[in-house]
């Protein structure tokens, strides 16, 4: 039951993201918008519920299965990238570097909190 409640929270944020995308006409995935809203909500609350943590851990273990369809779909529209490969390559390189840099900063901050005896959950 705990995982089901957590999964419901994730689905609600996904649906909210889709609603914002449709009504605002944004060219961004509803899932991305939903996760941004979930992140902001969790930052404001200052903690992650047990239900959400349990559901998230379950999904992380199958993350590759969740990403694969989108990656495979790119091969079906590869002809649309004709003449734009330099742009795509630059975007991929810059995006990868930014992701690695952001992850580095986050891990340094988490490691520093761990050394200070801090907790990632303010409610504890």
Tell me what the pLDDT averaged over the chain comes to: 85
Mean pLDDT of 31-45: 92
Q: What is the mean pLDDT of residues 56-66?
A: 81
Burial of 52 (C-beta count, 10 Å sphere; 0-12/13-18/19+): buried
Rounded to an integer, the average pLDDT of 43-59 is 88
Predicted TM-score of the model (pTM):
0.59
Asked if 3 and 55 touch (Cβ cutoff 8 Å), the reply is: yes
Q: Domain-by-domain residue ranges, the chain?
A: 1-76, 79-117
Per-residue pLDDT band for 62 (boundaries 50, 70, 90) equals confident
Length reported for the chain? 124
């Amino acid at each position: 039951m705990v995982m089901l409640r957590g999964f419901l929270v994730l689905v609600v944020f996904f649906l909210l993201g889709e609603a914002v995308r449709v009504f605002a006409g944004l060219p961004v995935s509803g899932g991305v918008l939903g996760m941004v809203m979930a992140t902001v909500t969790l930052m404001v609350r200052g903690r992650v519920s047990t239900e959400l943590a349990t559901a998230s851990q379950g999904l992380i273990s199958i993350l590759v299965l969740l990403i694969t369809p989108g990656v495979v779909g790119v091969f079906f529209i590869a002809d649309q990238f004709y003449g734009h490969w330099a742009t795509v390559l630059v975007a991929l390189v810059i995006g990868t570097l930014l992701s690695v840099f952001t992850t580095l900063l986050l891990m340094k901050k988490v490691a520093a909190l761990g050394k200070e005896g801090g907790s990632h959950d303010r409610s504890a």
